[in-house]
Structure 1
Amino acid sequence: MAEISYPFAQSNDSGGTEMVSQVQWQAMAGMWGGDRVDFTLTSESYSAGTLPFGFKVINGRSVEVSPGKAWVGGFYYQLTASTTVDIEPNPTDKARKDTIVLRADMPKGSVNLAAVKGQPSASPIAPQPQRSAGQQWEMVLYEVTVPAKNGAIALNWRGPYKMPPAVTLPWNVLPAADFLPVGTLMYDMDNNGGDTQYEAFKGRDGYVVTRHFGKSRTYTPSLVNAASAPSGVTRTGRWRWIAPNTVYFSVNITNTTKKPVNNSGSSTSAIGFTLPQTANGATGQVFTGLLRNPDYNSKLPNFMDIQGYCFKGNGQSHVTMYLPNTGSLKEGLDTFRVIPANSELIFSGIYESTAV
């Protein structure tokens, strides 16, 4: 029959079958999740002896592996008592890389610990695990360095662990994170439409938004150190989280009037604009933008670079703008003191924000 499906309460003429073979079970179980040690890493740190499948080298060549549980190739495995795996000697003059694996052997019908021998080489490479459905399927626990001339072996952990399952919430993800384990990914589905759908992570550093989904968010940047702007000045901005504490943003400030927007305060005060999220001030951050000034108003060029700067110190909520000295390049940058009539400012970029 071309159509086969399983497992059902009883076999039928439509292709449904009651019995499941080992191969069918492996194919089905592979959809549930990949190979991993059955232990969730939820603490901020661990010592090697507290984790499953810990090891101890005995007599220089044997590795004693402590109890643990794992999922390998669609089958569950439990080691209930410490077991020894022997690493073959290496009398050659070149080092070798071996592995210690959990091997699901379908013809044999069991999962067992095994050592896999690599090839001596000037630049040794550990053997890749076998992953053949219906035959042998391996998950690497350790990479073993086997020095030349039977030197003392050294082990490094390579096995994957399971993590807390990702969860989704209709809203209020931040307060819900207080009740979830470290290592949890959370998804805000924004079912009431009042915010943006996003992903967040609860790690050892606390809660952080990792990225926004869907369209970018809008915001209205405010002008800083600027005199009252006429109604013909428009301020639009867009932004989104693209990684933990990392923001992409774009800003457009257009003066469609015949009047310039001058700076306020002292004559040297620089005009700036606010950011959608506070910038991290640990090092100071630099931004780039452009001024489009087709009528050469305010004695400025028709198209020129504008530099932005967030000062080092505490988190900065706005970008201060600077422009090249219009008289001489040797003078460097001057504070940006006027938004010319009939002109347009454009900034876009990526910056690090303070923690959410």
Structure 2
Amino acid sequence: MSQSVSNEAREVGDRVEVFVRTIVVPYEKDLRCGSHGPSEELVRELRQKARAADVMTPHIRKDGEHFSQIETAYILKKSGLSPLGPVACNTMAPDEGNMFLLGRSGSAEQKARFLEPLVSGEARSAFFMTEPWSEGGAGSDPSMMKTQAVLDGNHWVINGRKTYITGAMGAKVGIVMANSAHGACMFLVDLPDPAIRIDRVLDTIDSSMPGGHSEITIDNLRVPADQMLGEPGQGFRFAQIRLAPARLSHCMRWHGVATRAQEIAIDYACRREAFGKLLIDHEGVGFMLAENQIDLKQSELMIDWCAAALDSGGDGNIESSMTKVSVSEALFRVADRCVQVMGALGVTQDTIVEQLFREVRAFRIYDGPTEVHKWSLAKKIKKQALKGA
């Protein structure tokens, strides 16, 4: 797979790595990093430095074309070497997935208005799909979506409730998903909008995404018809376009931060002595670090395998489900072992290992819990088996 990474992409990725390690990492202890993510002031400061280092939105070429998925993996893993790396370089979720979707599906006018500010890093975005479970709304099953869009002249009027909406606080661009008489639809909106009310920002286990995760009420939001993405009823098709690459880019970014945690744990184990020798010379510790190395390599190979499937023109749904399950579970094991190797230090905020543990625990749920992906894969296995019977 490494032979599929062009010299251009390698140069970009290597420049990103230098930037993250030398410029971004010192910001990890910045007081502007809060429980709901880095502040808007910090985001702007980091992105100003990324522009100066020519690493802003590095997975998109200057001509607007995306690097291949395999090349993107090389670049995004480098940006993920710090939890703040994707924020600084504009490779984070949900923006990276939203940029991909708009680049593939938006009209020329929509790209100029909504996509260009995202690519430049001047704006952040939010994707409004998940709904409150207590109201029977959509989660892992999007067919349960209750938010409704009704055509009124040349506008659509949208009403509903959304939750776990990443980055809504402070976002300038929104993609709102709603049901209509024609089926699911996606709408592009400018934010903030008085009809989209942030009821609260949830306190969650993770803390790397600007704006945190919000609970939202949409009250008579009027959207001009030309701000619909595609045609009425195409919402689920557009969701599929976004879904597989977005799942995969999560894997890329968190692989980077897991690699960094392993580096920190190795450094600690090679300097800390106990019971007459270095920790790494104790089999129980050395084996954990060896198992981490295996999980990291297997995750890398899964990411590249899925990326190749997408680059070949496939929808990548099966491959991305398998990769998301495998990588999220493997990286959680890596994080858990790093905490264990470092003992009491591993549960403090003196290093990013503790944060990685929290972030990757959430990753096992985001973009579909492990169990949902396994259930979906099992249905496909059954269908194929019965077809061949």
TM-score by length of 2: 0.23
Kindly indicate whether structure 1 or structure 2 has the higher relative contact order, using CA contacts under 8 Å at least 6 residues apart.
2
Larger helix fraction of residues? 2
Larger strand fraction of residues? 1
TM-score by length of 1: 0.24
